[in-house]
Amino acid sequence: MTAELHPDIAVLEPLLGTWSGTGTGEYPTIDTFGYDETVTFAHVGKPFLAYAQRTSSTDDGRPLHAETGYWRIPQPSLAELILAHPTGLTEVLEGFAAPNMPGGDTLIVDVRSSSISRSASAKEVVASERTFEITGDTMRYTMRMAAVGQPLQHHLSATLTRTA
């Protein structure tokens, strides 16, 4: 028996499922790179979505990044992402999740870090921002960050498609 989606997160329903696609990363301290990505959003009937993300290099398939966490809607239109990274970082990002217009077919999620913690061995990341646009079976996103002495700037962009 499948749990019904909790009404508090109904706005996030377009995210449910598994998504795959490709993206590009860049930052002043690294070489530009391409990546393949798979993201899964699931629920158990509680007021959150469980989130898992994995990327690998388009060059040779080696693993690049992973993160896991939860997406919440604690009040109408307010979005919270709680994420953990295997690199020793945790993030809380807050912003909004809403259709692009009343009755619109595109979900916009725009969040900014309100808290970033790191282990002693993790690289310094002081701010991050993410913007997602979901229309039907297509998800586009960008990610910006301020890290390792660099100001807030573009880091990642990708287009993912919902898989069967």
Q: What angle do CA 76, 81, 86 make, to 5 degrees?
A: 170
Please tell me whether 29 is known to bind a ligand.
Answer: yes
Task: Report the chain's C-alpha Rg in angstroms.
Answer: 16
Of 160, 161, 113, 154, nearest to 25 by C-alpha is 154
Please tell me whether 43 is known to bind a ligand.
Answer: no
Distance of CA 17 to the CA centre of its chain: 14
Of 85, 77, 74, 137, nearest to 110 by C-alpha is 77
Binding residue ranges = 29, 123, 155
Binding residue ranges for heme b = 29, 123, 155
